[in-house]
Structure 1
């Protein structure tokens, strides 16, 4: 038995299409789940971990484009491939602008479908990795004290220790202590590494950058 290469959700009201595509994708190593309506899909928790959703444009209970919008609004990282029985240029343009991987017409050739699903799988995995890196970076930044966060952003802005000390109304020795603690907490050793980590959290949370007047030298660190 082949190891699963990803999770694919099939959404179509035609049972014969669900069976044929399910067999094709299953034989290629994908874990496949089938749904015959938009509501069944949206009510399922499977969308949260799916790599690809093959979505019929004309479902009986909902427009496929509406399903795409609903999933996007929920913050899903899955990639969508539309499959339709009719050519619909305006719909295809709208779907692609909204982030669909492709817009295929039935009957679709096996090689074309498999190639498209693989592109969708890779896109979904890449997006998840990016989201995981961002979440990790945000957690690290959130672990900083307000003063450390302030020093972090000034370092990223290219300020030297003595300049930061002057900006914050303290002495350079104190800034070195804050800077050392900040770098240790974030797990970085160089300014270049720090800049890359902060860039991942873009747009930066301004709440993490208190103005100099909000922190006094005697504040809790």
Structure 2
């Protein structure tokens, strides 16, 4: 891992910060931790390099507010939001505002590492969703009407149970449609689906 790849962890949970730092240092990353968004903004770090792991819910300034301030402070780093299930709609909004990815708690260590490597990889912003707009539109056309409905509701950050209630179908049926949507659109995570939804509307 290149030394300039520093991971900035912004989370008010002491145990979470320590466990994440231990994991990432073991992978060869430089790691800096902050107990609040304000502490991060007051950091004398310059220039910032790498990526930010940002908790959504924190006292005072939350992760969403910090993300909006980053460009104003000249900090242009990929942001991975750490979110609970109830925070998924907020994470979706964060991605629409420029966050790179989000990961839901509880998460596996490898899932987090995969997202970090993806965020840091060269050309990530021009990755598989760049021109493939034509390919994506073809894939989108392969969705059935119900699958399209499920895709659009997932892209809004709605949970399976809420989609089931809105479409008057069972949660198991939603799960089956969700699996088919991800297969047809070649998405590996909910964050991938959000990016595709953003691409469709761009």
TM-score class normalised by the smaller sequence: 0.5 to 0.7
Describe the superposition over 1:68-118 as per-residue Cα deviations: whole angstroms up to 9, x where unpaired.
000022232211000023332321221111111111111211111001111
Q: In the aligned structure 1, how far is the partner of 2:75 from the partner of 2:122?
A: 12
**Count of residue pairs the alignment pairs up:** 126
Correspondence 1:23 to 2:22: yes
Q: CA deviation at 1:125?
A: 9.0
Where does residue 87 of structure 2 map in the other structure?
88
- State the alpha-carbon separation in 2 of the partners of residues 117 and 92 from structure 1: 16
Give distance in 1, aligned partners of 2:94 and 2:41: 18
TM superposition shift of 1:61: 1.5
Q: How far, CA to CA, are the matches of 2:9 and 2:54 in structure 1?
A: 6
Corresponding residue of 2:78: 79
Q: Give runs of aligned pairs for residues 8-19 of structure 1, distance below 5 A.
A: 8-19=7-18
Contact map agreement 1:52 1:78 (CA 8 A) in 2: yes
- Distance in 2 between the 1:5 and 1:58 partners? 28
| Equivalent position SS for 1:87 | helix
1:105 aligned residue = 104
Q: 1:124/1:62 Cα in 2 relative to 1: closer, same or farther (>3 Å)?
A: farther
Deviation, structure 1 residue 3: 6.2
Which segments of 5 or more consecutive residues in structure 2 lack a partner in the other structure?
Answer: 127-202
Matches within 5 A, 1:1-221: 4=3, 6-46=5-45, 48-122=47-121
Give the TM-score of the pair, scaled to structure 1: 0.52
* Secondary structure, aligned partner of 1:40: helix
Report the Cα distance in structure 2 between the residues aligned to 1:5 and 1:123, rounded to whole angstroms.
14
1:78–1:124: 8 Å Cα contact kept in structure 2? no
Give, in whole Å, the separation in 2 of the partners of 1:47 and 1:57. 24
In the alignment, the residues of structure 1 paired with residue 46 and residue 99 of structure 2 have an alpha-carbon distance, to the nearest angstrom, of 15
In the alignment, which residue of structure 1 is the partner of 2:185?
none
Aligned position for 1:156: none
Residue 126 of structure 1: how far off its partner (Å): 7.8
Could you tell me the TM-score, scaled by structure 2's length?
A: 0.56
- Bigger Rg, which one: 1
